[in-house]
Structure 1
Amino acid sequence: MDIESADQALHILHIEDSTADQGLARITLRRAGLACRIQTVETFDDLQQALATQVFDLILADYHLPGFTALDAWALVEPLSPRPPFVLLSGAIGEAAAVDVMRLGMTDFLRKEDMARLPLVLTRAMEVHEARRAKEQAMAELALSERRLAELTEHLQSSIEEERASIAREIHDDIGGSLTSVKFDLAWITRNSPANQALQAHAGAALEMLQHALGASQRIMMNLRPPVLDQGLVAAVQWLAENFERRTGVPVQLRTSSEQMATSPEVQLVAYRTAQEALTNIGKYAQASRVEIELSDREGFLTLEVTDNGCGMTAEQREKPRSFGLRGLHERARTVDGWLDVSSQPGRGTSIIVSVPLPSRLT
């Protein structure tokens, strides 16, 4: 540890009632070239006053002092924030007792007979202290970054869902309404031009294309923000299961703890999107012949479990780069204080479980 100026000199509080030992410590540190400012205290009242009015870089303490011990001094130092390193410098206790004292959280112990090692011990104590403080700062910054990322994720998810709902309304109100009007007009043309076979054929082909466009717009609208969600989570998951079974031919068994579940719209949407993503993955990758969905609101939690008997996944497949589906589900669950668990083994299927705590008034 390099100290290049007086401003960088260590401010040390030396708790010691022996004038000789005070002087020896000063001389030892000065001869070692360790820049420091040492303030000594001998009584407990002076110690309290010093700690209350000043900030010290390091505490150096004897064990036995008039009317108190180093343990009493440690009780005053331990709650400080930031807490300076605490080095015990004493010849009055044995090694075993010193180890017990160190377990309380003190930084280091040195016997007075080894006073020559004091500069090294203090330097090491400061280096350990700085490393610990840097680690704590890094951890705090990481926690702040994670909290901000979670807040951003929640904001993005909310924005995406709002945009989806807005697009779904536009498809329903504008595109769906326009296509339906055109369908009525084509039907009128078909009814009122029975003699013109060419016109009938073109109108019939247009009606078929129009019906396909209406079906596509309805599917897009349902995927964006299904109106069935307004009927409750159970109905929405039931619709997902029936639609999946109809598209893939894979049977889906749905079990629910009740027909209606009193959950917030945010929680409903998280559960719905989890089921939707799980079924999408099963349809694309699982090669399953059976799917089971269990939805429960018992014991203070909303729990959704989607299980298949397909080919399963390896840990590497779940963690591969750009695999954002499951990660997105994890982040969705976090936005409502829930969590997601994925259990899968190659050849033994996959189970995806999302659990969200429910407010007591809803259970």
Structure 2
Amino acid sequence: MTIPIAGRRLRLLHVEDSDLDHQLMLAQLQRGGLQVECQRLDSREAFAQALDQPWDAIISDFNLPGFSGLVVLEMLKASGRLIPFILVSGEIGEDTAVEAMRNGASDYLLKNNLARLAPALVHAIEAAEAQRARKRADEELVRSKQRLHELAGHLQTSVERERAAIAREIHDDVGGSLTALKFDLAWIARHAESDAILQRANSALETVTSAIEASQRVMHNLRPAILEQGLVAAVQWMAGRFDRRTGISTVFTTSHEQVQLPPGVPLVAYRMAQEALTNISKHAEATRVDIELSVAGGVLTVEVKDNGRGIASGDLAKARSFGIRGLHERAATVGGWVDLSSTPAGTSLILSVPLTPDAAHNAEDGSLNKTEHDPSAWGTQ
């Protein structure tokens, strides 16, 4: 619980060369109902040494031996400490007062009008404490966002690892068993002695073949092994497969046939394009999709654009609209970002990822761009 200013003993630093003026100031503060513990000093060196102590406020004369109150203010600013500063002077011009306020002074007073000193001091201290509280809150908010970002990156990595494990199990166990079963059924079909057995065997072969194709499709969705051929080949394959499956004309263009990318980036780009195509097939009512992959200025750009009905602003603001948020978080794990624009004539989703050496440092621990774990490589875990 914060003690009110009037009920606290305030620690003040008074930069003043006149002991009489110092005593007048103390008397004025006491008359204003404030309890103070005040230290007076009148040299620049003494002020520099005293600045490290915990002061509630600094009150400074303007005219000082060999320096001025504005110098005191500059020294306070250079220290980076958030301490309220009040400038007091026998004579102070309007230009000087404006300069002091512009440089961060809380208030300025004339020595012949110290009646306002106590309320001005209370107001300055309260304003400084509120500013410090806001700064602490902002810093905590930044730390909280950082922790959430790190958690999102960790979750993305965990999901990809789990997908890889499931895909390997399907490939090794389910796929292997279905392939062996297919060979057995083919042998039975070749040695069938009746048309009924042959018909059943051929029907079972068709079922097993469909199951193998389904398992391969699930494996590709869980873990795109095509990424071993590079991002360009993977996105080109995905575009062709989407065209055939949905009947939506899908055109893929690229500025490079081969692109050397940092670890983690290929999978992020692939998943972004995959998510965009999934949303297009579900919601866009589009007849054409254009996918463009380019590298220019050290930045990888992947754009997926359709000619569908667009996305309503209300849909983006839905509380459970996690698709776009997930894309933003996934892009951030490799130091990238996602831009979404939509009109009634279509939607454009753009992923941008800097490929400079420093880009990897933008992702936090546990993100997808860690060199010890590259989720874009098949079977590395």
Task: Output the TM-score relative to the length of structure 2.
Answer: 0.90
Offset at residue 223 of structure 1 (A): 0.3
1:204 to 191, 202, 205: 202
Deviations 1:223-263 (A, max 9, x none): 01111100000011011101110111111111101111000
For the structure 1 residues 56 and 360, does the alpha-carbon distance in structure 2 shift closer, same or farther, using more than 3 Å as the test?
closer
1:358 is the counterpart of 2:360? no
After the TM superposition, which of the residue ranges 110-119 and 290-299 deviates more from structure 2?
110-119
Deviations 1:178-214 (A, max 9, x none): 0000011011111101x32322222222222211111
1:181 is the counterpart of 2:180? yes
> Does the residue aligned with 1:265 lie in a helix, a strand or coil?
coil
1:300 corresponds in structure 2 to 298
1:272 to 264, 270, 293: 270
1:324 corresponds in structure 2 to 322
1:235 is the counterpart of 2:237? no
1:254 corresponds in structure 2 to 252
Cα distance in structure 2, aligned partners of 1:264 and 1:333: 13
Offset at residue 157 of structure 1 (A): 0.7
Cα distance in structure 2, aligned partners of 1:49 and 1:229: 62
> Does the residue aligned with 1:260 lie in a helix, a strand or coil?
coil
Q: Is the 8 A contact 1:3 1:35 kept in 2?
A: no
Gaps of 5+ in 1: none
Q: Is the 8 A contact 2:106 2:124 kept in 1?
A: yes
1:148 is the counterpart of 2:147? yes
Q: Which amino acid aligns with 1:11?
A: R
Gaps of 5+ in 2: 360-381
After the TM superposition, which of the residue ranges 20-29 and 94-103 deviates more from structure 2?
94-103
1:348 corresponds in structure 2 to 345
> Does the residue aligned with 1:353 lie in a helix, a strand or coil?
strand
Q: Is the 8 A contact 1:42 1:66 kept in 2?
A: yes
After the TM superposition, which of the residue ranges 82-91 and 283-292 deviates more from structure 2?
82-91
Offset at residue 4 of structure 1 (A): 7.5
Offset at residue 62 of structure 1 (A): 1.0
Q: Which amino acid aligns with 2:350?
A: I
1:118 corresponds in structure 2 to 117
After the TM superposition, which of the residue ranges 288-297 and 92-101 deviates more from structure 2?
92-101
Offset at residue 50 of structure 1 (A): 2.0
2:51 corresponds in structure 1 to 51
1:245 corresponds in structure 2 to 243
Q: Which amino acid aligns with 1:228?
A: I
Cα distance in structure 1, aligned partners of 2:302 and 2:248: 19
1:224 is the counterpart of 2:222? yes
Offset at residue 51 of structure 1 (A): 2.0
**Percent identity among equivalent residues?**
52
Q: Which amino acid aligns with 1:115?
A: L
Offset at residue 177 of structure 1 (A): 0.6
Cα distance in structure 2, aligned partners of 1:49 and 1:260: 62
